[in-house]
């Protein structure tokens, strides 16, 4: 029996990830976001939330390394990068990246951010973090919004004109959360990457140019 388009798409990205050395096909969600919104432009200090198994960290490292050579002008640039990843699950270490096993809502996590980035402002926060789904789409969507509200609080560590990417579930609270993002960012866009499961109700909100 031939595969349906959804199964084919998942298999394509799975096989591509294995071939290109990414830990999961979710890497291509972040690459899709970059191709659409150029979120990694002049991003050297990057915080990745909900990092396990580490595919987004791999992508972030690639772009951060490229940026060091690309942006050598009178505008904002750095001669090094710093990337931190956090998750409640174990993350296999990646050279040059700090990984922490911790709940991102733990108050201690803010201390970790301030210490690692040496109180310098972050250029980009990316989050593929998700609640553990219960199967009730209404409560799951509400719980995911609450998680994302906690993530927005971390935008205080972003520099002016910095960017934030968060994963949301489509539902009743979506519009209110969108408005909440607009309070902090000049531009807010919603986007579903091609690499996302088409049957999933996940959608990403991208906040550009922090006020």
CA–CA separation, 57 and 80 (whole Å): 16
Summarised one tens digit per residue, pLDDT across range 13-40 is: 667 777 777 888 899 999 999 999 999 9
pLDDT at 5: 46
pLDDT at 9: 53
* Domain range 5-210, its CATH number among 2.60.40.10, 3.40.50.2020, 3.40.50.150, 3.30.2270.10: 3.40.50.150
CA–CA separation, 192 and 32 (whole Å): 9
Burial class (CB in 10 A: 0-12, 13-18, 19+), 16: middle
Q: Between 3 and 150, whose confidence is greater? A: 150
Pairing outcome for strands 45-49 and 158-169: unpaired
CA–CA separation, 91 and 93 (whole Å): 6
pLDDT at 24: 83
Output the CA angle 92-51-177, nearest 5 degrees.
Answer: 175
Report helix, strand or coil for 123. Answer: strand
Write out the catalytic residue numbers: 167
Q: Which two tokens stand for residue 126?
A: 């990316």
Q: Does residue 148 have a pLDDT over 50?
A: yes
**Nearest in space to 50 (alpha carbons), one of 92, 84, 86, 98:** 86
Rounded to whole angstroms, what are the CA distances from 57 to 72, 73, 95, 201?
A: 23, 26, 11, 24
pLDDT at 210: 97
Domain ranges of the chain: 5-210
Query: What pTM, to 2 d.p., does this model score?
Result: 0.92
Start-to-end Cα distance in the chain: 53
Summarised one tens digit per residue, pLDDT across range 165-209 is: 999 998 889 999 999 999 999 999 999 998 887 788 899 999 999
Q: Does residue 50 have a pLDDT over 80?
A: yes
Pairing outcome for strands 45-49 and 185-191: unpaired
Report the share of the chain in percent with pLDDT over 70: 94
Q: How confident is the model at residue 10 (pLDDT cuts 50, 70, 90)?
A: low
Q: Does residue 113 have a pLDDT over 50?
A: yes
Q: Between 13 and 3, whose confidence is greater? A: 13
Q: Between 182 and 7, whose confidence is greater? A: 182
């Amino acid at each position: 029996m031939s595969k349906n388009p959804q199964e084919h798409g998942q298999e394509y990205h799975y096989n591509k990830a294995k071939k290109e050395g990414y830990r999961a096909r979710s890497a291509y969600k972040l690459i899709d976001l970059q191709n659409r919104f150029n979120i990694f432009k002049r991003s050297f200090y990057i915080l990745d939330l909900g990092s396990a198994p580490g595919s987004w960290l791999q992508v972030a490292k690639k772009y951060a390394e490229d940026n060091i050579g690309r942006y050598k002008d009178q505008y904002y640039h750095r001669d090094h990068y710093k990337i931190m990843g956090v998750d409640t699950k174990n993350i296999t270490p990646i050279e040059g990246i700090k990984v922490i096993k911790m709940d991102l809502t733990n108050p201690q996590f803010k201390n970790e951010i301030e210490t690692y980035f040496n109180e310098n402002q972050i250029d980009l926060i990316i989050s593929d973090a998700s609640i553990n789904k219960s199967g009730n789409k209404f409560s799951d969507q509400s719980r995911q919004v609450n998680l994302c509200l906690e993530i927005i609080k971390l935008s205080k560590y972003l520099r002016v004109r910095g960017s934030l990417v968060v994963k949301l579930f489509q539902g009743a609270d979506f519009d209110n959360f969108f408005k909440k993002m607009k309070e902090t960012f000049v531009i807010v866009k919603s986007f579903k990457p091609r690499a996302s499961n088409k049957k999933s109700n996940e959608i990403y909100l991208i906040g550009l140019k922090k006020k």
